[in-house]
Amino acid sequence: MPSITVNVDDALKERMEQHPEINWSEVTRQAIQEKIEALEMMDELTSESELSGRDVQEIADKINERGRKRVDEESA
């Protein structure tokens, strides 16, 4: 399986280290998976749409925010 590197600031790293029971690689993988699925759904929904790129980005941002909240809730 390929690996990627994710950079976080020192404060976030310290907070992560306070929860060694969490598999942060898995949390990251799930967040990426959810984002990809949301983007693919957006692509499918907008393939014949007249939405502007800005419209699509606003919708994607809302989906991304919801995904982050979901990951936070699942990680708690």
pLDDT at res. 7: 96
Note the pTM of the prediction, 2 decimals. 0.60
Return the structure tokens found at 62. 């809302």
Domain borders along the chain are: 50-76
pLDDT at res. 3: 93
pLDDT in tens, 8-53: 999 999 999 999 999 999 999 999 999 999 889 878 877 777 878 7
Give the other-Cβ count within 10 Å of 20's Cβ.
Answer: 8
pLDDT in tens, 53-73: 788 788 888 998 988 888 888
56 close to 42: Cβ distance less than 8 angstroms: yes
pLDDT at res. 50: 81
Q: Write the DSSP symbol of residue 22.
A: S
pLDDT at res. 46: 73
